[in-house]
Chains A and B, each alone.
Chain A
């Protein structure tokens, strides 16, 4: 035991000595100078007009390292900071009870634009927007509603929404065309509109394929008419996602779409343990973000939260803030289907997909869902 401790101590000391041996920078700017040349744009004003602008963001209880929408939101804000040289503040919430306090703190700190990530921050952002008419707000994944749950519009708050059904329709059509077992599946994290909408589109895509080809591809995990289906219960518990996916596989599914953020990794683990099962990732391109499972990824239904945040910030900095909801669609590229890799899509199916994409963009084909933004 002694020896281990000694070795550890020597090792730690050596690391510290080595780590501390760098050259001191010549500049005499004091503690703000960063030796490694890391980005310190946050603390220094770039001298442009944008330097006075402060954009702030509050996460939901998932935190900014959730490999899902909180993270995408933060990446968008970071990108805006690098591009525009504005100041940004990001705060994480640990529990539902933290939202109001976090939002209020940011507003009183002088944030020009405060962005709430996720449906759960609706009340906090709405209350703050009503109480601070001079600041601007944005809310990702939800519109605003009054006490009776009727939609309302606020002059200084912009909902950032995504009509993901359009893209997941294509994913459903593709899945139905690619399945060999004739069974596909999907499950969600929590039954909230921003999750169910993925599953609605997916269900419609499968149904459309069956209609076009007179086939009988079965969908497990979601009943669009009843709005009932399989949910893992949260956005954290990966083993729950694994169990659900194993059950789907046991029932013959060979393509699974988990709509549950990091819980999708549990689905990937289950798919990796089975033969010939593919996944459809959501939010980001799973081929890149969940790289250890990239061989399993058929495609991804992408939701460009980061780009939407960046655009909203840029717009506000330029003085063009509007309370008009931003709705990501296939047309404006806010949602989309990632490149299909690792599988040959039959030319006929690909033509159909392109055709439907055109029809959705032109408005000829409408994906109806009760969860639409």
Chain B
């Protein structure tokens, strides 16, 4: 940590530009997107250097660093460690052993709860944690993709929470109140959720395109409206035969996502459903949309430079609306996964905090479809593992939130991570300013 100021002062200019880039993801994404074709040329450069300075490694290191810092917090939160630290100078080994023990136990539990529980009795029990991670990742991936698409167009869509809620209301209502044949019912309910989310996201899109309303403010306000809308809906007789105002009737079996691992194949109690496949398909779709389609090119162009895009003859307003509608549709898919797959009924808390976590997921995934996918998986795993970590080791569940926040915080500051691990700075950026700065000196000498 001691060389951190040194690093940032000597590479002042590139550190600054890096930070600016990371702090404003849409812009960063836009620039990179704008250089789309040149990225392929870069492959010819030093491969090792590319990997060491690349964003994927930086994300991985940020995760490692965040886990280490989280481990320190776990140790401090541990009662045995605190007890032992009261006589730290008499016998320091006690404190260190207890701290290591707490940290190790917690992370082992985290792993057992999210990937593989080797202490389970059966193979099904062993892989169940992995399926749970996948279950929790479905809404994070889908809503995260929606946020990512917005970022690429330079839109800060903070409204995924509201879009999920509205999508969930529509999907759940179609799921329990309408009678339709099996496959059709599921499709109708899923589509209903997509439309619900898309319409709700279209509102800020239209307001921004037509009247220049700031989408951040509008989406945040729409989140509040959605929260009160769902508690109002749950009090209506059709949503609330139990007269409790808390939970809708259960979604009919025909409208549920089928289990991904059918009982006929292996006897299991997994909650994993086809929503995960939908998440994969959506990732492929978003990749195609952004990287291969004309609309995607326009989205990236608007994100990179709206004025230039307008000059080039693109309708910025139209692209803004399209982007928001796509983002809302993806959030609606996330809602469908929740009410038609995981929760199977509508409650006021059906959206949990997925809409906000999705922003972090999109940031961690650097607004790339597959990056978002894996970031969603990671956050799903952290969530699933957190439950076992809390119940086995009594580690406060909030630690997981801290780790998640640290990951994003570190990703927003690549020079910090780089200086901690003593990695070289990326070449493409510093090369240009450096000769400009050194030449005059040489001339003077």
Contact = CB atoms under 8 A, between A and B. Distances in A.
Interface in A283-326: none
Interface stretch (A23-31, A70-78, A332-340): A23-31
A191 interface: yes
A32 B80 contact: yes
B14 interface: no
A120 B247 CA distance: 9
A147 interface: yes
A192 B247 contact: no
Contacts of B269: 131
Given A96-B349, A97-B343, A233-B231, A19 B86 contact: yes
A61 B351 CA distance: 13
A73 B390 CA distance: 18
Report which residue of B84, B101, B342 has the largest number of chain A beta carbons within 10 angstroms of its beta carbon.
B84
B391 A95 contact: no
Contacts of A131: 269
Interface string B94-106: 1001100100000
B86 A192 contact: no
> Which of A24, A30, A61 has the most chain B CB atoms closer than 10 A to its own CB?
A24
Interface stretch (B237-245, B285-293, B326-334, B363-371): B237-245
A290 B87 CA distance: 36
A335 to B, nearest CB: 21
A148 interface: yes
A230 interface: no
Interface string B244-276: 111101100000000000000000010100000
B90 A89 contact: no
Interface size bracket, A side: 35 or more
Contact of A61 (B90, B246, B349): B349
Interface string A17-53: 1011111110000111111101000100000000000
A236 B242 CA distance: 24
B394 A119 contact: no
B113 interface: yes
Contacts of A98: 352, 387
A30 B81 CA distance: 11
A190 interface: yes
B211 interface: no
Interface in A119-145: 119-120, 123, 131, 145
A280 interface: no
Contacts of B83: 33-36, 38
A80 B370 CA distance: 50
Contacts of A247: none
A362 interface: no
A203 interface: no
B245 A190 contact: yes
Interface in B323-357: 338, 342-343, 345, 347-350, 352-353
Contacts of B59: none
B397 interface: yes
Contact of A35 (B86, B241, B250, B345): B86
B384 interface: yes
A192 B101 contact: no
A101 B397 contact: no
Contacts of A35: 83-84, 86-87
A16 to B, nearest CB: 8
A24 B120 CA distance: 39
Contacts, number: 115
A148 B269 CA distance: 24
Contact of A147 (B90, B98, B250, B397): B250
A94 interface: yes
Given A20-B89, A101-B132, A31 B242 contact: no
B90 A34 contact: no
A167 B163 CA distance: 44
A236 B285 CA distance: 41
Given A119-B244, A147-B249, A193-B244, A89 B86 contact: no
B387 A22 contact: no
A25 B88 CA distance: 11
Contact of B241 (A24, A32, A100, A148): A148
Interface in B48-95: 79-80, 83-91, 94
A192 B249 CA distance: 16
B388 interface: yes
Given A96-B348, A119-B244, A23 B90 contact: yes
28 contacts: A19-B85, A20-B88, A22-B86, A23-B90, A24-B87, A31-B94, A31-B97, A34-B79, A35-B84, A36-B86, A42-B394, A89-B391, A89-B394, A90-B394, A91-B387, A98-B352, A101-B132, A109-B392, A119-B244, A119-B246, A145-B242, A147-B249, A190-B245, A191-B235, A192-B244, A192-B245, A192-B246, A193-B244
Given A35-B87, A91-B397, 13 more contacts: A19-B85, A19-B86, A20-B85, A20-B86, A21-B89, A22-B86, A31-B98, A97-B352, A101-B387, A105-B387, A148-B241, A149-B249, A233-B231
Interface of B: 79-80, 83-91, 94, 97-98, 101, 113, 120, 125, 132, 231, 235, 241-247, 249-250, 269, 271, 338, 342-343, 345, 347-350, 352-353, 384, 387-388, 390-392, 394, 397
Q: Which 5 A-B pairs have the closest CB atoms?
A: A96-B349, A20-B88, A95-B352, A149-B242, A24-B90
